[in-house]
Structure 1
Amino acid sequence: MPRAFDSSPSRSPPRQRHAALPPPHHRRTLSSTLVEESVADAAALVQKWHPDVSCSLFLHDATGQSEEETQGFLRAAAQLHRAMLVFAADTTNANDAGLVKAQALLQTAMRRLQRELQFLLDKHDQQQQQASSISAVAEAMMAVGYGKECISTFKSHRRTALATKLQRLLGFSPPAAAASGSGNSSTSSSHHKLTWDWEQVDDKIIPSWIATATVAFNSLLTREKDLCDTVFLRDAAVREAVFAAVANDQATSLLGVAEAAVARARRAPERLFRVLDVHDALTEVLPALLSVFGDNSEVATRAAVVVTKVGEAARGTLSSFEAAIRKEPSKATVAGGAVHPLTRYVMNYLVFLADYQEGLALIYEQADNAADTSSVSVVAASGTEHYSLSSSSISSSSFLYSYNNPIHRLVSVLLGKLDAKAGCYREVALSYLFLANNTKYVANKVAGSAKLQGILGEDWAEAQSAKARAHVDVYVRAAWGKVMAAISSSMSMPQGQQGEAKGVEAVVLEAVGMQDQWVAADEEMGEALRAAATAAVVPKYRMFYRRHGAAVRLTPGDVATMIAALFGGTISVPWHQSRCTEPLQHHPEDLSIKPARRPQQRLFT
């Protein structure tokens, strides 16, 4: 019998359950294996040269290790950095432990290299060949992301080393310069508060500064720049910034010492030479300064300001000196028509000043803002001050022979003042003796100084000597005029008139007595005065004596002897001991002085 149809729904066969899949298993690749092995190799070398190890890895002579081991350490640091990159790129986080290990090892290696950098920088000043090793360490540190630590260590160490060297050279610690980037590179405010007195400035500060500036800008800072260029060769911006951080403050502080020292001169004439010494030193180091720091650098700007201020101080001192000469009282004459102290001081001063002719040319060119195509110029921060160092200006004849030259002005003012003083003497003869003495002294000083003669002109001294000779001629006519007139008058009288004869003898004695205390500038001038008087008087007196000799006691020989005793002359037999009842006084000692190397005393009180 057929099976009845079952209308109930049929059951599905039971679903078979599957077991959970196991997590994927990390499969070591060849590359990861090599990375792990390189980390292990690096770990051994890093542990051997742990930062706590006191000896140096790079100073081979001291430790005895090989160059190969040194290079191996640098490669190990690079391998650790690459391993970190590989481990960090794994998104499975399976190599987190390797990443942590590599990072810790790299940090340790960098601390080692940071210490090595300090070792090498300590030795660099004694062994310049260390620069290549320093460069290798710096490159390794910067390549793995430790550039900030490298630069910080380098800047701190070199800044301290440079400051120590400058302080040792100066013999004192210069004030700290304004902080870089503060917007104010001028350090004058701090320098001007220093308590130096002029004796310190003159004896120690300026000589030490000149020597230090010469070494610093021509050598120390140049080597420092070379070191920065070598160590940070691959990045121009970095090496410029590092050098500026190391050297700018030291250089500007050194320039500030010069400014402060010059400020102590206070326009005193005898201090000008130290100001000019500073100016000469600045102009000598300026090319090296510009080469090291650059024309548009903060230090170049600071140098321009200092040079400008030193030039202003020099011009101000010379202007004050000129004004002092003009204000010297004309009535302040000297006894006997001698060389005036003003003449001596000014001419000695000009002899020394002539040694600075090239610097003076630059200083007055600076004042005139002279433009020259061959100049090396730097512009001050204000944008208005300009300093020009030009080789053509130094030899410019237009300055040498111009009234803008202070030496021309000062000697002209002096000669004018001497004319005014001459007019204050009561005796005309003494007035011209004064002019003869002082004019001859001026001429001799110029002739004796090749530089001063070159400035004033080859014919200038001879022209002054000719003026002195002309003054001597006028002096003789004025001093012996009464004698000549008396002799001429007596010659027209009959022989034997005793009154006329005695009158001639009297005026002769009067003339000799008047001149007895008068002074000659030097022996040469004394000889010229005696020779001129003898030539003018003795022949005429001899004619007088032939006519009236019986009526007088003075012979022509007596007159010649008296003239020979004037102005420091000597006589073999004192005529007055046997022929005259009124002895003549001896001539005072010559007033000439030997100039010091630099005038130190004040000219006017």
Structure 2
Amino acid sequence: MAGLESKIPVPGVKNHVVEACHHVVKALRASDNNLDANLIKLLSDLETHLSTLGMADTKKVVEDTGFSEIKKRFKEAKKVILAWEQNQSMMIFDAGFSEADLFFQALYDVQKVLSGFKALPSKTSKKEKDVYNQAAVVLDIAMLRLEKELFDVLNQYKQHVQPQHLSVSSSRGKDIVLDESFVSLDDEVIAEATDEQQILGSNNAELVDPLIIPHVKAIAKAMFACDYSQTFREAFIAVRRDALDEYTATTLEMERFSCVDVLGMQWEDLNVEMRKWTKVLKIVTQFYLPSEKQLCDNILGDFEPSSSTVCFVEISKDTVLSLLSFGEAVSLRSCQPEMLERFLGMYEVSAELLLDVVDSLFPDETGSLLRMAFHELSKKLAERTVTTFLKFKNAVATDESTRAFPGGGIHHLTRYVMNYLKLLPEYKDALNALLENIQVDDSIQEKTGQDILPSTFSPTARHLRSIVTALESTLERKAQLYSDQSLKYIFLMNNCHYMVQKVKTSELRHFFGDEWIRKHIASYQHNVTDYERATWSSVLSLLKGSSNDSAATSRERCREFCLAFDEVYKNQTRWSVPDPELRDDLHISTSVKVVQSYRGFLGRNRIGEKHVRYTCEDIERLLLDLFECLPSPRSLRSSRRR
């Protein structure tokens, strides 16, 4: 081969030099059985190279030694090779360096015979032709033995390394599931782990035991020198391709699915597989394939440049295309809103790999098919992600109800949307790229200043705020379904407060901005004021009177107030204010107004104790029962004074 022939010294003294070097190497090995591993590797590489040099230049040997000497050496070489042919239970590698050296030396002598005949006159005797034919058969036997050796040693000494800190377990976490009614009772958001460390490091993994590398290289050099390079490549590709397939299926637990399988999957199963796919694709391309490429270069790098590249691409192609075909099949499914985060994850990984990994793994024409497949998938995932994002927003904006939400609590739609939005800042770079050219109305005007974060006016921020604006409009429509005006304000207060808390306590704060938060705090506080006015203005008006009112009139006012209070109590103990802090604030605010007015009324009017149904302390205590979301009206009999 050209790469090896360029290293062959000038004929004449070369054979003596090669033989001398062989003796030096053998003497070093024999001198100490505890040689350093690096030195052993160096000696093995040197021996292999010396044998290859010998194989490459035999014409001079034939001229110097003649046919009889060649025939004698061939008989000894044949004996060694056939002995290994009969011993199939043991690998040459396991027999030790000296036995391996004898085998490769025998192969070197057989190659001399075949090459030497080219130096002899065209008219040769029958005996000479017979030796030549025998040598050709023995060479084939030796090559088959080396091919088997290659299979055995690569299989026996392969290593599957699992990247740390990155689990691809198929166990399911809790996910917010979107059904047709946006129903999700779980307020906990189980997001993807954000502490996963970067897979691609400065050091690639050892996919085979480093001790066998010199032996595999010796096999490669021998087979290439004997014009069996294609046989070596096919065997090497087959073993390493199976290893990658096994690693993906067994270690990473990524099953292969047909397009029909993917299209027919239930969402719960597809959700798990899409999540796993993003991790597996990342591990394979950032961790495993660079290690595989390094292995190919290490073993085949001394030959023509295409050998290593062709082998690596052929090893990678089947698994990579299988992974990409899963993404292609997923992109054919309808764009349901619940798929948004998964599409984002898949698109982000494909875009990241295109930018940092794919072009370096498959840089030339040989890998163009895989590069194009990556680009095509990334393009399709981008389209599906944008479509799903817009469909998600439209689903929020068009969600309709025919019945008021019980108790005025936090609507399932609000919980779902806000918890889902909390997941999206993790994909801000992908979203910014995808949404950059899609215009959206935004109620927050762009500003600049030292305290203004650039993320507040990014494409992601504008679109997230637009989704919440759509949610607010939908909630306003739902609020109109309440016949009780006070409950309408409780509903709006609860949902607005919930949105503010989700924004304040998450990464959403960097996208919504302080102005949005201030605006919405003022909004739910305004709802509190509207609630108090709608509920208590008419009740407290019963306590107003003039100083000229008679005792009978005052007693009647007190009775009417208590009846009105009873009605409020009966209704509003069934209403819901889930947030404890908001509920306490509402209790305090209401108590200040109601108890103070009631105390003033009792102080201005001397009403006999038997005509006073509730004391101020009773009213204050009963107000604490409001908004507890009781299943049925609470009786006030136990609270009445006897």
Q: Given the two structures, how large is their TM-score scaled by the length of structure 1?
A: 0.72
Once the two structures are overlaid, the 10-residue window that deviates more, 344-353 or 396-405, is 396-405
Preserved CA contact (<8 Å) 2:431 2:460: no
Residues 56 and 63, structure 1, Cα contact 8 Å, conserved in 2: no
Q: Which amino acid aligns with 2:520?
A: Q
Query: Are 2:537 and 1:468 equivalent residues in the alignment?
Result: no
**Between 440-449 and 96-105, the greater mean CA deviation after superposition:** 96-105
Q: CA deviation at 1:436?
A: 1.0
Q: Is the 8 A contact 1:39 1:80 kept in 2?
A: yes
Specify every segment of 5 or more residues in structure 1 that has no aligned partner in the other structure, as ranges: 1-28, 176-189, 369-395, 582-605
Please give the alpha-carbon distance, in whole angstroms, between the structure 1 residues aligned to 2:271 and 2:562: 62
Task: Give the share of equivalent positions with the same residue, in percent.
Answer: 23
Counterpart CA distance in 1 for 2:263 and 2:520 is 47
Q: 1:236 aligned to 2:305?
A: yes
Q: d(CA) in 2 for partners of 1:557 and 1:30?
A: 120
Tell me what 1:149 maps to: 231
**Contact 2:92–2:100, Cα closer than 8 Å, also in 1:** no
Contact 2:71-2:113 at 8 Å conserved across structures: yes
Structure 2 counterpart of 1:491, from 539, 542, 546: 546
Paired residue for 2:617? 557
Instruction: Establish whether residue 40 from structure 1 lines up as the match of residue 72 from structure 2.
Output: yes
Per-residue deviation, residues 86-142 of structure 1 (Å, max 9, x unmatched)? 12xx24x13575355235414422431342133134323243443333333333333
Offset of residue 193 of structure 1: 5.4
CA distance in 2, matches of 1:422, 1:195: 39
Question: Is 1:252 aligned with 2:321?
Answer: yes
Cα 1:275–1:59 change in 2 (3 A) is: farther
Question: Structure 1's 191 and 162: CA in aligned 2 closer, same or farther, altered over 3 A?
Answer: same
Taking CA–CA contacts closer than 8 Å with sequence separation of 6 or more, which of the two structures ends up with the larger relative contact order? 2
Displacement of 1:492 in angstroms is 5.5
Aligned AA (2:358): L
Pair 1:432-2:489 in alignment: yes
- Mapping 1:43-192, distance limit 5 Å: 43-50=75-82, 52-55=85-88, 59-62=92-95, 65-66=98-99, 68-87=101-120, 90-91=121-122, 93-94=123-124, 97-99=127-129, 101-124=131-154, 125=158, 126-169=208-251, 171=253, 174=256, 191-192=259-260
Matches within 5 A, 1:511-590: 511-550=568-607, 552-553=611-612, 554-568=614-628, 576-577=637-638, 579=640
Of 337, 341, 362, 1:293 maps to 362
Q: Corresponding residue for 1:24?
A: none
Q: Is the 8 A contact 2:496 2:523 kept in 1?
A: yes
Aligned partners of 2:106 and 2:268: how far apart in 1? 54
Structure 1 residues 228 and 317: CA distance shift in structure 2, 3 A: same
Offset, 1:546: 1.8
Task: State the alpha-carbon separation in 2 of the partners of residues 127 and 483 from structure 1.
Answer: 85
Secondary structure of the 2:86 match is coil
Alpha-carbon distance change, 580 to 418 in structure 1, aligned in 2, over 3 angstroms: farther
Q: Which has the larger radius of gyration?
A: 1
Tell me by how many angstroms 1:225 deviates.
2.2
Give the stretch that moved more between structures: 478-487 or 310-319.
310-319
SS state at 1:267 partner = coil
* Closer, same or farther: CA 36–361 of 1 in aligned 2, 3 Å: farther
Q: 1:167 to 1:104 in 2, by over 3 A?
A: farther
Tell me, yes or no, if structure 1 residue 346 matches structure 2 residue 385: no
Measured after TM superposition, the shift of residue 83 of structure 1 is: 0.3
Judging changes above 3 Å, is the alpha-carbon distance between structure 1 residues 477 and 199 closer, same or farther for their aligned structure 2 residues?
A: closer
Check whether the contact 2:91–2:153 (CA below 8 A) recurs between aligned residues: no
Do structure 1's residue 313 and structure 2's residue 384 form an aligned pair?
yes
CA contact (8 A) 1:561 1:575 kept: no
**How far apart are the structure 1 equivalents of 2:536 and 2:348?**
53
* Cα separation, partners in 2 of 1:58 and 1:578, compared to 1, 3 Å: closer
Distance 1:431 1:171, change over 3 A: closer
TM-aligned CA deviation for residue 85 of structure 1: 2.1
Report the CA distance shift for 1:410/1:122 in structure 2 as closer, same or farther (over 3 A): farther
Stretches of structure 2 that go unaligned for 5 or more consecutive residues are: 1-60, 159-207, 439-452
CA distance in 2, matches of 1:298, 1:318: 30
Cα distance in 1 for partners of 2:71, 2:462 equals 77
Q: Distance in 1 between matches of 2:226 and 2:425?
A: 62
C-alpha distance 559-288 of structure 1, shift in aligned 2 (>3 A): same
Aligned to 1:186: none
CA distance in 2, matches of 1:162, 1:293: 17
- CA deviations 1:422-472 (Å, max 9, x no partner) are 2333333222221111111111222232x2223323554454233222211
Q: Tell me the secondary structure at the aligned position of residue 294 of structure 1.
A: coil
Q: Which amino acid aligns with 1:198?
A: Q
Kindly indicate whether the alpha-carbon contact (under 8 Å) linking 1:267 and 1:317 is maintained by their aligned counterparts in 2.
Answer: yes
Q: Which moved more, 1:49-58 or 1:34-43?
A: 49-58
Distance 2:468 2:528 in 1: 21
Aligned AA (2:489) = Y
TM-fit CA distance, 1:41: 0.8
**Matched-pair contact (CA < 8 Å) for 2:460–2:511:** no
Aligned length: 503
| CA pair 324-259 structure 1, distance change in 2 beyond 3 A | same
- Residue by residue over 1:298-333, the C-alpha shift from the partner in whole angstroms, topping out at 9 and shown as x without a partner, is 112111222232333333333222222222125542
Shift in Å, 1:347: 1.8
What amino acid is aligned across from residue 215 of structure 2 in structure 1? S
Choose the corresponding residue for 2:480, options 409, 417, 423: 423
> Given the two structures, how large is their TM-score scaled by the length of structure 2?
0.69
| Per-residue deviation, residues 54-105 of structure 1 (Å, max 9, x unmatched) | 3599734335744542442343244234303212xx24x1357535523541
Q: Deviations over 1:463-495 (max 9, x none)?
A: 42332222112211121111333333x135434
Counterparts of 2:435 and 2:89, CA distance in 1: 57
Contact 2:432/2:459, CA 8 A, preserved across alignment: no
Aligned equivalent of 1:227: 295
In 1, Cα distance between the equivalents of 2:348 and 2:66?
A: 67
Deviations 1:355-402 (A, max 9, x none): 44444345546x87xxxxxxxxxxxxxxxxxxxxxxxxxxx9458643
For residues 455 and 406 of structure 1, the distance between their equivalents in structure 2, rounded to whole angstroms, comes to: 10
Deviates further, 306-315 or 193-202: 193-202
